[in-house]
Structures are given as C-alpha cells and as structure tokens.
C-alpha cells in the first residue's frame, strides 16, 4: 500500500529519473532527507548537483529556481512548511507569475510544501495559503486529496511550463493508503476537477483534506436523512474547472462550499461568486460556506478542533439547505 507521502516521493523520483533537467532544492532535503523524509535517500541516488541543500532563505530558493527555470532546468522547491512561503511572496508574485507575460518565456518550476492543520502544529506551521495567491494571474495551484492525485498531479506540475504551487496536506501524509503500482505513469491533468461522490440532493465543493470530512458527512446524511450528496474535489484551484462545478450545482440545486482556511476572504468566496453568476437560477436553497474560524490555528487540541471545520458542522449546515 502506498501512502500519500510515498506517492509524492515516487512522483519526484520518477520525474528525476526520466528527465535530467529536473532537480530539487530546499532546506535539509539532502543529508537529512527533508522535514517529513520525503526526499530521504535522494542525495545518494542523484548527487549534490541535483539535490541541493539551501540556506534558510525561501526568497533565495525561489529566486534561484526562477533563474534555473529560465535556463531550461526544472526545479522543484520544497518549503519546509508552506507557511514559510511568505518570505518568497515577492519573488513568486512579482516575477515568477509575470515572467511569461513580460518576456514570452515562462518559468517552469514547482513550489511544494506541507499545508494544513489537525496535527497540533500551532499557528506558524498549520496554515492554508491558497487565497494569498488566488488573485495572481500566471500561477497554477494544486491541492491533492488522494494518494493517486498526489502523485499524478505532482508529475503534471513538474512537466508544466509555468510556475505551480503544490499544497500537500500534512494530515494526509501517512493516514491515506492506496494500491499504486510502481512504473505506471500516473498522470493527472491540471485544471480538471473530480467527482469524488455522486449525488442528486446537494453539491459540496471542496479540496485537500476537507474532501474526507465531506465524505464522512455525506455518509452520515445518507444514513440518517436519506440524502445523496455529491462531492466535487477541485484538485486544481487555478485553473479552476468551472464547468464541473456549475454542472453539479445545476443537477442538485444546492451548494455547500467547504475549505479549511478561515472563512473571510477564503477561496470559498470565489466559488460562491462563480455559482451566483453561472447557476443562480438553478438554486433551490441559499449557498452556504463552512470554513475555519477567523483566528490563527491554536496549539491546544480542543481549541484546534473548535477552530477547524468538523463533520458535524458540515452535516448541520447541509440539513438547513436540504430542508429549506
């Protein structure tokens, strides 16, 4: 059985084996093997020219990667925690995202790292940063929810000619396991959502670890209320698969948007606007959003659980829509 973490490791290794232009860089990814051991053994396998331990400077990591990408290489940068992407914000937003528009030559690099809460890591190691970058044309954003997609989407991201932000939910690293054959070229195209669960009564649109919260809520609603909930796993946040979202809402007539980041200014606002513009006349109940509280992620276990969206939150919100 392959874990979510191992699927990411496989994707990087296979792309490095297949293409000598692919290399990795980040803090402690070489001799130490990375904070979560994703790149363990890579230094011995590929050498110091392709497995580069960097100083503790995210801006330098991404800046060097952009330059390497413009010279034809394919860097994969690791943020030890995705929270630490903040020091590289200027390089990502004001250069990497705009370089194709400015010069005609893109920067094909991947910036990957563990996001999300639920592991008692506190406010500085638990954030979800997708909304920070959602307003930036030129960036692609990926958030896999399954083992297969963790591998397939990362391989597609590495092959993409433009910058891709790859958000791996650390809660899923060792909790998800799936049969995944080595040697198969598992490739998931960017920009295409996945129907995680078929249904006719309500659509839940979500991504990342919240797909599994939605699944548990849908099972409870089926058992206790007889409701069949459809779950759309976005997989790629940018570009967004608008057709799949709108098609599902037109079928069910109801939409619940679920994400782990705080509600205010979160990605759910864009999804709500999309459906209001493209499927308003199909709605039989108001759109509802379920998200984290507008606070930093707490350290204390009880407070972290209160902060994060829970299955009970999704179930109770869905029932108000189903009974509207």
Q: Is 307 a catalytic residue?
A: no
| Omega before 178 within 30 of 0, i.e. cis | no
Return the number of other C-beta atoms located less than 10 Å from residue 67's C-beta.
14
Burial group, residue 49, by CB count within 10 angstroms (0-12, 13-18, 19+): exposed
Count the helices and strands in the chain (H runs, E runs). 12, 14
193 and 236 Cβ atoms separated by less than 8 Å: yes
117 and 304 Cβ atoms separated by less than 8 Å: yes
Q: Which of 125, 212, 259, 307 is catalytic?
A: 125
- Residues 6 or more apart whose CB falls under 8 angstroms from that of 230 comprise 195, 197, 198, 199, 200, 201, 202, 203, 204, 248, 251, 252
DSSP codes of every residue in 180-206: --TTS-----TT--EEEE--SSEEEEE
* 255 alpha carbon, distance to own chain's centre: 21
- Distance CA(289)–CA(292), nearest Å, equals 10
Catalytic positions are 125
């Amino acid at each position: 059985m392959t874990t979510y973490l191992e699927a990411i490791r496989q994707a990087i290794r296979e792309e490095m084996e297949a293409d000598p232009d692919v290399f990795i860089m980040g803090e402690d990814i070489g001799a130490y093997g990375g904070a979560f051991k994703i790149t363990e053994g890579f230094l011995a396998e590929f050498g110091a020219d392709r497995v580069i331990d960097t100083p503790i400077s995210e801006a330098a990591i991404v800046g060097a990667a952009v330059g390497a990408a413009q010279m034809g290489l394919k860097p994969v940068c690791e943020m030890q925690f995705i929270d630490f992407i903040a020091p590289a914000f200027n390089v990502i937003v004001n250069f990497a995202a705009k370089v194709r528009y400015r010069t005609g030559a893109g920067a094909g690099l991947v910036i990957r790292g563990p996001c999300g809460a639920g592991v008692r890591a506190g406010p500085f190691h638990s954030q979800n940063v997708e909304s920070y970058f959602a307003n930036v044309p030129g960036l692609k954003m990926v958030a896999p929810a399954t083992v297969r997609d963790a591998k397939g989407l990362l391989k597609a991201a590495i092959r993409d000619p433009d910058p891709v932000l790859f958000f791996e939910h650390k809660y899923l690293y060792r909790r998800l396991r799936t049969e995944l054959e080595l040697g198969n070229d598992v490739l998931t195209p960017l920009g295409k959502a996945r129907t995680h669960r078929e249904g006719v009564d309500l659509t839940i649109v979500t991504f990342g670890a919240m797909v599994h919260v939605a699944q548990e809520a849908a099972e409870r609603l089926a058992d206790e209320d007889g409701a069949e909930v459809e779950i759309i796993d976005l997989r790629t946040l940018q570009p967004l698969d608008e057709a799949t979202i709108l098609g599902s809402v037109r079928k069910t007539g109801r939409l619940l948007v679920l994400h782990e980041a705080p509600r205010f200014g979160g990605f759910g606002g864009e999804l709500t606007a999309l459906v209001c513009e493209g499927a308003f006349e199909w709605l039989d109940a108001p759109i509802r959003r379920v998200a984290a509280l507008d606070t930093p992620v707490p350290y204390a276990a009880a407070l972290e659980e209160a902060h994060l969206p829970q299955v009970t939150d999704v179930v109770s919100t869905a029932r108000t829509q189903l009974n509207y």
